[in-house]
Structure 1
């Protein structure tokens, strides 16, 4: 009979643990640190006393992520310009194989939802992640957070309302997303103002994240005309040799601009009612290193 080692058991659950930590923290490095700390805790326990390893590991990871989130909040308050989550290859988030469950799971890792989750308290964020992304029953979340089921239900309701009010319901039809993304790139590269305006919603917004380490707007740009003119100005100043490719990030299609294999920019479009509602641009090099192999 096979006897799994502590490492075997942990590696089996690592994708889920990373998925929890990333949704809580929005940074790959922070999530990986939390998962590593969870491994150290797991390696130090008497396994015979752990009846359900998955539940035990998720409990440890969630509590460590809450602690880490409280530590990094002051760092984010001092962040230069808008803050966006670190782009993540969707399959790295421990997603289910297919079906409606996968669709719901992917939705909880979109940039729009993760941005709104930044305004939740650490406990609200933990409840939202465990409930919405992983389908945990309220009673089990209560055990994870050492709270009553009634308190967890209250936290979940408050978090869900806040996320629903704060994040637009973007369309995720892959063919439409690809079509709009390709037309968006062609219009920007072709200095086609009318073409861009035809793709953008009237109240379109552009959110750029550079952390002060690359060129990007330090404030959110609003209105289709301002967004389009900004994008055309950027396109004209792009360095020679910059290449563009499409990739799957944060539950949807994204554009990765890279030069000699080094990631330079990630662009992702939030689409609603057939128009581009939000343009997300991530240029902070600290958030792009993990995409070097894309």
Structure 2
């Protein structure tokens, strides 16, 4: 029996397309994992019926021989900063509790069009203001990881996209949306050991996303590895006339273009990375990373 919690975006998409399993099987399995993981407080609202509904549509399209989308059969978590039609959207604030949008954000609409389904709305720092996911009206999100010294104290999953990072690390979902103003995708991804990308500003539409700082906010993918992020970003991105800062550029085939060859690449390292007072272990990680990049050409 397939353990769907172990599969990432690419594996689920390809398995559904190849007929190895049905999208509904994946949705049912991950719905059950989300329901059983309430102690992490990663989800503000669970939407199992939305995940099943999207999966049924994908299975029906495959049975009919219709082309499938880039995220066909992949259930994801949606950060509660994205407006979702008919589903409560709170930005983790009591102010918006009970707000049910009558419209869909462009990013979430793009993902549903690509065949993804929604497992639920993910917890976050209130209005994306925070970096530890401890400011949510709905309570702290807990990392699934624990200290390696035997301590069992709850750890922060980073923020503001802490519900996203915790849910992916706990294998409740293979991927989730995040938003990044000053690190709110990249930092929580680093906290729990997953991948996250803040795309170029304007690459993903901000329409229907509750704003923190409009001139900096950018939606992006969070997943277990870079390939899964590339697949998800292809589905999320695209020009949107409803967003005045949206880039009117074709969406590259990022998945096909993935390449691990670093020979000849130039990577900039801020000379100030060794700040006064920096923890020596952190400085060593920087030094190791620079050495690895040099070794790779």
**More helix by percentage:** 1
* Bigger Cα Rg: 1
Query: What interval of TM-score do these two structures reach, taking the shorter chain for normalisation?
Result: under 0.3
TM-score with structure 2 setting the length: 0.27
